[in-house]
Amino acid sequence: MADNEIYPQIINVLITALNKFFLYPANHPIVRSTLSDAYAVLSKALALKKQLTFSLSGQDKILVEGQAITSSAQTLLEEFIAEFNKLQAESITFSEGLSVEELEQFLTMMLLKSEDLKKGAGISQLLSEKGIKHIKVNLFSYVKVEKGKEVVSRQKTKIIDTADFMLKLKEILKSNLDDGSQLDKNLEAVGNLLIQEAKDKDAKGKVEVAKSADKAFSQLNKFASVVQDKDKSGKLKALFTDKENRYLDAILIEAIILEYAQKKKWGPFLRDIFKRFYLKEDDTKRIIPKLKDRLLQNKITEPELNNFILEMQNSLNEFQTKVTKTDKEELINLKDENSRLRKELEQLQNQSRDTDDLKKKNKEAINEKERVENIIHHMAEGLVVVDKDGKILLMNPAAEKLLNVNKEEAGGKLLRDNIREEHLLMLPKELKPDNEGNLTKEIELFSPDESTKRVLRTSSAVVENQDGKAVGMVTVLNDITRQKEIEKLKSSFVTNVSHELRTPLIVIQQSLAILGGELKDKLNDTQEKFFTNAKNNLNRLRNLINDLLDMASIEAGKFKLKPDVFEINELVRTLAEFLNGWARAKNITLETAPLPAKTELFIDKDRITQVITNLVGNAIKFTPEGGKISIVLKERIADDSFKNKAIEVSVIDTGMGIDKKDSERIFNKFEQASVAGPANGSGTGLGLAIAKEIVQMHGGKIWVESEVGQGSKFSFLLPLDKEGTKNG
């Protein structure tokens, strides 16, 4: 690229970047993009020249290597000159090694007010404080003698500080842009500021105020659109244009009057005003009536006025006829380029809004991720996540300690390559949840020297994709070694005590049987009552010991089923006949509702009898005299709550009922319903817990439906296939 092309381009990108810095926040995508463009152009030029110096001549021309720069973008050139004047700079030098950070800092400084730039040692001190080494600004420190005769200061007329002026206007306009009445008042304030700035200036000074104001209004129009983004009808833009025309016309008319009063003729200065501000036909039509009225007020005669207007129109026509075909094509190209840039700007603004939304969502996601990671990291339980192939994706510190594994070494590798007890994490392809969807199991682990044993409880969940296909597994590990040791000690104690109690109970039971035979028909009523109470309490104590032994056997994993094929209707009928005497003693009706057809199940007859006896016994205890108990059998098809076809056995009573909050708790060991029962209705709290274990070992499930005062319905399911039944 030739020098005469790259120098105007540098000015173009610098002023464009400066304008974007003025309009948008520093981190806005448009600002970052224009800064990047400016740096790219400067870097390209410095790679060839090593150093570039832009200086300002006495005729307000920008020079590079003594050659004046000309550009079709005259407005940008004027803005560059205005920045020189603001800095009171003779030259600005860019050197090889310039960084994008230095350029950004320099452009930010250019937005400061003049008084801020003049503090201390001025711009040079600011550059030094910011560590900017590859940009130098040389200030005017002398007056210039023109033609050896007249001493001319750097500026004859104090030209308005464009940046300061726009900051003032921006402060006036930046609030209440959506409030029409307030905006109108704000624009009136802008007009007063313009009039005040131009008041005491000569014709040239007034024109400079108008130029600066024209630029300011143009940028403020963009600023308003960015801030408001509601001006779909164009009312805001029309309001800005109307106010701009009104106040600029007033200032420029005064400049024309001053110039005409001095020169009494149409000249180059007036021609330049009209070329700059009133070249368009609509602008000309607007200004001429105002100008005529103001000239007449200034005591100009009618012939003089007509002659002035005629010269003005001839000059404008002459200028317009000089616009060549090439110029028209260039104007068309510029319009097309302007249209393209506007569309790109709109797209960037939309992208900026989308980017802001994405940044906000991304920040929320990052915060949520950090929160979850902190929770996982500080969990007391171990957490392991594996993919469908068993590769470790995530492992928290607690899991590392429990499994004696380093996550940095184990990450992304197969379980079998890192964990000896890989089966404890239950890979998806091996997972077989029970009918309740419970994926919990207990695993025993040994230390490397196998001298220490630990027990872990693992709870796992399958991770599925949208198609329902397993893609991984999440497993939570709990160290329950201490808990197991306590349970073992407790079970051992209960078992030992129960066995120790069983021996004397057998002796007492046999003794009572012998006494009963020898003393038959010899006891009076009181003695008979005492003897009966002794036998009943002995049976109660025997049942308690049997329950304790059963629970101890279950916890030790020694509770075994002896399943065989039995007809369920016959089992229930026989059991009902046996229990009927107990029910009649309380004047309670006991009835059964068998299945319509003979149905055989693969079950442990004695244990299922134990379950039904427990449920019916509880019903008799908690059902008042005159009540009713039903044992109901029905066939049940597979559904979401139970995956197998089964027989449902229900014991329904009209007793006092159970609070819903107790419906799960009563199946735990040593737990009873919170509703007060009859005086002789207390128990050990083990019956339902044992019943639950027996039903689950048959592959079924047990539950209760009840309300206080409405009776209860205890139900359990027994699968029809043999696969459900298993030993502990």
Examine the domain organization and report whether 439 and 520 are in the same domain. no
Specify the pLDDT at position 435.
Answer: 47
Provide the residue type at 599 as one letter: T
Query: According to the per-residue pLDDT averaged within each range, which of 209-218, 251-260, 697-706 is highest?
Result: 697-706
Q: Which domain holds residue 134?
A: 5-139
- Asked if residue 477 lies in contact with residue 379, where contact means CB atoms within 8 angstroms, the answer is no
List the single range of 420-429, 527-536, 615-624, 700-709 with lowest mean pLDDT: 420-429
In a domain, 493, yes or no: yes
Quick one: 596 and 458 in the same domain?
no
Distance from C-alpha of 515 to C-alpha of 528, rounded to nearest angstrom: 12
Question: How do residues 125-175 score in pLDDT, each as one tens digit?
Answer: 888 888 889 988 887 654 444 444 433 334 433 444 545 555 565 565 554
Helix (H) or strand (E) holding 393: strand 392-395
Question: What is the pLDDT averaged over residues 440-450?
Answer: 63
Based on the domain organization, do 412 and 316 belong to the same domain?
no
| Contact of 300 with 265, CB cutoff 8 Å | no
Rounded to two decimals, the pTM is 0.40
- Arithmetic mean of pLDDT, 222-240: 60
Element containing residue 332 per DSSP (H, E): helix 325-377
Q: What is the Cβ-side half-sphere exposure of residue 280, based on CA atoms within 13 angstroms?
A: 5
Q: Lowest mean pLDDT: which of 76-80, 482-486, 537-541?
A: 76-80
Question: Is the distance from CB of 469 to CB of 476 less than 8 angstroms?
Answer: no
Coil, helix or strand at residue 148: coil
Q: Which CATH number do you get for residue 596?
A: 3.30.565.10
Largest CA distance in the chain: 159
Q: Is the pLDDT of residue 18 over 90?
A: no
- The most confident of the ranges 165-169, 262-266, 423-427, 579-583 is 579-583
Q: What is the pLDDT of residue 160?
A: 46
Are 320 and 463 within one domain?
no
Same domain, 566 and 709: yes
Q: What is the average per-residue pLDDT within 265-283? A: 81
Residues 6+ apart with CB under 8 A from 112: 163
Q: Which among 521, 554, 587 is the end of a domain?
A: 554
Asked if residue 233 and residue 128 are part of one domain, the reply reads no
User: Which tops the pLDDT comparison, 110 or 431?
Assistant: 110
> What end-to-end distance do the CA atoms of the chain give, in Å?
88
**Residue 411 pLDDT more than 50?**
yes
Q: Which two tokens stand for residue 138?
A: 């040389």
User: Phi, psi (5° rounding) for residue 144?
Assistant: -115, 135
Residue 287 and residue 224 in one domain: yes
Q: What is the DSSP letter of 566?
A: E
Least confident of 154-158, 356-360, 469-473, 549-553: 154-158
**Is residue 350 assigned to a domain?**
no
In this predicted structure, the answer to whether residue 619 has a pLDDT above a threshold of 90 is yes
Q: Is residue 118 part of a domain?
A: yes
Higher model confidence: residue 84 or residue 331?
A: 84
Range with the lowest mean pLDDT among 117-126, 299-308, 513-522, 641-650? Answer: 117-126
The total of structural domains in the chain comes to: 5
Q: What is the CATH number of the domain that holds 418?
A: 3.30.450.20
In this structure, are 714 and 594 located in the same domain?
Answer: yes
Q: Most confidently modeled of 331-340, 564-573, 656-665?
A: 564-573
* 91-100 tens-digit pLDDT: 889 999 999 9
Considering 325, 342, 366, which residue would you say is the last residue of a domain? 325
4-13, 223-232, 370-379, 396-405: range with lowest mean pLDDT? 223-232
Residue with tokens 């035979």: 517
CB 481 within 8 A of CB 387: no
CA count, 13 A, side-chain hemisphere, 168: 18
Helix (H) or strand (E) holding 288: helix 281-297
**Do 392 and 494 have their domain in common?**
no
Residue 356 covered by a domain? no
Task: Please report whether residue 477 resides in a domain.
Answer: no
Q: Does residue 539 sit in the same domain as residue 642?
A: no
- Min mean pLDDT across 254-268, 531-545, 598-612 is at 531-545
* Residue 13 belongs to a domain: yes
User: Are 702 and 567 in the same domain?
Assistant: yes
Q: Is 323 a residue whose pLDDT tops 60?
A: no
Q: Which of 527, 554, 581 is the last residue of a domain?
A: 554
pLDDT given for residue 91 in this prediction: 84
Environment class of 10 (CB within 10 Å of its CB; exposed 0-12, middle 13-18, buried 19+) = buried
Domain membership flag for residue 331: no
| Separation between Cα atoms, residue 323 and residue 56, nearest integer Å | 30
Q: Confidence class of residue 344 from pLDDT cuts 50, 70 and 90?
A: confident
Flag the least confident range among 37-41, 685-689, 719-723.
Answer: 719-723
Give a yes or no: residue 684 inside a domain: yes
Burial of 226 (0-12, 13-18, 19+ CB in 10 A): middle
pLDDT confidence of 590, banded at 50, 70, 90?
A: very high
Do 266 and 400 reside in the same domain of the chain?
no
